Amino acid sequence: MTYPLFVQEIDKRGVARITLTRAEVHNAFNEVLIAELTAALDGVGQDPRVRMLVLAAQGRSFSAGADLNWMKAMAGYSRAENLEDARRLARLLRTLNELPKPTIALVQGPAYGGGVGLVACCDVAIAVEEAKFCLSEVKLGLIPAVISPYVVAKLGESAARRYFLTAETFSAWEAERLGLVHEVVDRNGLEAKGRQVIDALLSGGPAAQLAAKDLIFAVSGKRVDEALIEETATRIADLRASDEGREGVAAFLEKRRPDWQGD
């Protein structure tokens, strides 16, 4: 069986890369891609060698959303079958969003529907100037349901109320303004900017980065009360007392590199 993606060999720094390779169909989703990408992400998350993940794509598009043949099949599904199908996509997105490693999306082309969801689920997203984004579901009488928690978190409610309802295409620059992507570069600079972000991530403590990612989920949208204050105090106390925290502080005071940065 030919799978629609591959995981490149993990480099010596622990940088893994998953590249979508269904370029002939604009890296559109189908049930095989969803299953294989979920499995690949699970593997990356559990692999102790991996420091971070780069998500990229081949061809003109990052991802065009749902595959046409898959959509044709879904049209004949019962409600129960559609529910299970949607749950599988929801699990993929949650797995990417909560991956216990930093994630970088390198968006080399348009992202539509579920492709926007993949971008929204990554910690850092870099797009080329030619990239375009569209939440086109209402044009098909549908809604961007399972991607919505992640897309709304990035776009904000106001922008979501526009683009979920109008299905307008918006530019990479607008995506940057809204917070869906963090930086827009020319096509020749995409990989170089990715390498800069990788280098920045490699300077941080792996356990601290995981804790920082979890901290964001824990405090986002919460009212600042005594319980939240106590939780944040507990989290920093735990890190200060950890081996990595002690090593990081010691390295700073001794003006040397911490052990996670290697030689």
Torsion of CA 68, 44, 94, 193, to 10 degrees: -80
pLDDT reported for residue 187: 93
Instruction: Give the end of a domain, one of 201, 220, 250.
Output: 201
The pLDDT value given to residue 1: 42
Sign of the Cα pseudo-torsion (120, 58, 202, 200, in order): negative
Q: Domain range holding 117? A: 5-201
CATH number at residue 121: 3.90.226.10
Q: Are residues 64 and 194 in the same domain?
A: yes
204: phi > 0 → left, psi -120 to 50 → alpha, else beta; which? beta
Same domain? 175 vs 236 = no
Please say which residue of 174, 201, 228 terminates a domain. 201
Q: Are 77 and 127 in contact (CB under 8 A)?
A: no
Phi, then psi, of 31 in degrees rounded to 5: -65, -30
Domain co-membership, 190 together with 234: no
Task: State whether 257 and 158 are in the same domain.
Answer: no
Question: Residue 255: its pLDDT value, please?
Answer: 93
27 and 153 part of one domain: yes
Same-domain pairing of 221 and 153: no
- 68 and 129 belong to one structural domain: yes
Which regions in the chain score pLDDT beneath 50? 1, 3-4
Domain count, the chain: 2
Our CA angle for 127, 147, 57, nearest 5°, is: 35
- Using CA atoms, how far residue 27 sits from 24, 59, 108, 242, in Å, is 7, 8, 12, 42
Amino acid 74: pLDDT: 74
Q: What is the CATH number of the domain that holds 239?
A: 1.10.12.10
- Judgement on whether residues 210 and 187 belong to the same structural domain of the protein: no
In a shared domain, residues 235 and 256: yes
Residues 110 and 216 in one domain: no
Q: What is the tens place of the pLDDT at every residue in 60-116?
A: 999 998 787 777 777 777 888 888 888 999 999 999 999 999 999 999 999 999 999
> Which of 201, 218, 242 is a domain's end point?
201
In this prediction, residue 4 carries a pLDDT of 47
pTM over 0.85: yes
